[in-house]
Amino acid sequence: MSFAPLTKKPLTALAATAAASALLLAGCSSDSSASEAPTASSGGSDLISAERCAENKAAGPITFLTSFAYAASVGILDVVTAKEKGIFDELCLDVTIEPGSTNAQLVSAGTAQFAGLGSPSDVLVAVDNGADISGIATYGNTVAITLMTMKDGGPASLADFSGLTAGYKGAIPPQIQAMFLEDGVDPASINWVSVGYDPTILPNGQVQALTGYKSNEPLALESQGYDITQWDPAEYGIKSAFNTQIVNNTFKEEHPTAVEDFLRASFSAYNWINESDTNLDEALGYAEALSDAGYDLVSSKARWNTEVGLVEDSQPEGTPLGSESVEQWTPEADMLVQFDLVGSEPDIDSAIDTSFVDAIYDGTELIWPAP
């Protein structure tokens, strides 16, 4: 598996002493040492100009809300690492990370400036409900949702799901409904029930099918020795994306360099984590220290590696990590309309802002540090 792209040093007047640190943070050059972690400078201005540092500091305190506690997910663990390793400090950003809940609403209200959401669908539904937010980066370009059944005695085809009880959390994922329709099965023929977060209701027989995330519930069940079958919408031609970062629209207009450098620091941390198992273990240690509940390092490591695999395997050729487009979001927008989850056709152009990812890359090479 290939990991993070090479970073590119901008042609600006940078302090000579910053060069070594920049290469370490890039985490991709064959000449750099994967065993060395990025570290914070004394004041941040060693890496960026005094003018840019002042612009970023003018943004004031920044709150980022995670999409699911301190889980080892892309878009969470890399942000946590950027904070704990001092990478945000290097870029003169004062970032606080908090577990999220009603992320879209809080970011829209300006209570938080950034947050993670599950997918473009979540952003489009929030915008349809009046949220003043934009999607600024999307990590994965494939379906992250799966449908699970027990291997023994489970359905042999999607047609066999008719009459079965299937559990879901929050709302029936449109990707799952689209999968059934694509195979000629009416999803309404299934008995859908809202359930909690314990996946063992599937092997315990309380439901015959269960939705989940590819990087979470299937791994949890398999680690407990259960043999399951996954029904992957991607294998039925369903297109989707996952893990989108959002920003408050007023904040992005007033502090564009802070938005750029928030993403720059996060992606730099993502690159560094993926250099080695040692780096990943260190990053997981940061998340473990922040978590109030028990933190399973083994399953968390598997979760990160699964999501990175999905991201890397689905990245469109010639595009960098985090890139967004109308084409990328259109399949989910169409599903939202198809299943009456939005009041009107989503305006994807107004829901995404590609300018920030565009600004921090030269092609597929992350520009480190900021120009």
DSSP string, 154-198: --SSGGGGTT-EEEESSS--HHHHHHHHHTT--GGGSEEEE--S-
Backbone φ and ψ of 294, nearest 5°: -65, 140
- For 106-137, the DSSP string reads HHHHTS-SEEEESSHHHHHHHHHTT--EEEEE
**Is the preceding peptide bond at 174 cis, omega within 30 degrees of 0?**
no
* pLDDT for 193: 98
Nearest Cα to 337, choosing from 242, 225, 258, 329? 329
Distance CA 264, CA 356 (A): 9
User: What is the pLDDT at residue 25?
Assistant: 32
Rounded to whole angstroms, the Cα distance separating 273 from 308 reads 11
4 pLDDT more than 80: no
Treating both helix axes as pointing N-terminal to C-terminal, what angle do 18-26 and 256-273 enclose, rounded to 10 degrees?
A: 70
294-341 tens-digit pLDDT: 899 999 999 999 999 999 999 999 999 999 999 999 999 999 999 999
Q: What are the helix and strand counts (H, E) for the chain?
A: 15, 13
What pLDDT sits at residue 153? 92
Residue 6 has pLDDT above 70, yes or no: no
pLDDT tens-digit series, residues 146-205: 999 999 999 999 999 999 999 999 889 999 999 999 999 999 999 999 999 999 999 999
145-236: CATH topology: D-Maltodextrin-Binding Protein; domain 2 (3.40.190)
Q: What confidence score (pLDDT) does residue 170 get? A: 86
Please return the burial class of 61, using the count of CB atoms within 10 Å of its CB with bins 0-12, 13-18 and 19+: exposed
The answer to whether 140 and 261 are in contact (CB under 8 A) is no
pLDDT in tens, 85-137: 999 999 999 999 999 888 999 999 999 999 999 999 999 999 999 999 999 99
Is 2's pLDDT higher than 80?
no
Query: Read out DSSP for 326-364?
Result: HHHHHHHHHHHHHTT-SSS---HHHHB-THHHHHHEETT
Task: Classify strands 165-168 and 209-213 as parallel, antiparallel or unpaired.
Answer: parallel
The whole-chain average pLDDT of the chain stands at 89
Return the number of other C-beta atoms located less than 10 Å from residue 197's C-beta. Answer: 9
The model carries a pTM of 0.86
* Distance in angstroms (rounded) separating the CA atoms of residues 144 and 293: 25
Q: How far apart are CA 236 and CA 306, in angstroms?
A: 20
* Largest Cα–Cα separation, the chain: 68
pLDDT tens-digit profile of 240-272? 999 999 999 999 999 999 999 999 999 999 999
Asked if pLDDT for residue 349 goes beyond 90, the answer is yes
Return the half-sphere exposure (C-beta side, CA atoms, 13 A cut-off) of residue 197.
2
Q: May I ask the CATH class of domain 7-142+241-367?
A: alpha beta
Start-end ranges of CATH 3.40.190.10 in the chain?
A: 7-142+241-367, 145-236
Token readout for 50 is: 């005094």
pLDDT of residue 371: 83
Radius of gyration for the chain, computed over Cα atoms and rounded to the nearest angstrom: 21
Identify the burial level of 292 via C-beta atoms within 10 angstroms of its C-beta, where 0-12 means exposed, 13-18 middle and 19 or more buried: exposed
pLDDT tens readout for residues 27-48: 333 233 333 334 444 344 588 9
Type of residue at 296: D
Range with the lowest mean pLDDT among 71-80, 202-211, 285-294, 317-326? 285-294
pLDDT attached to residue 45: 55
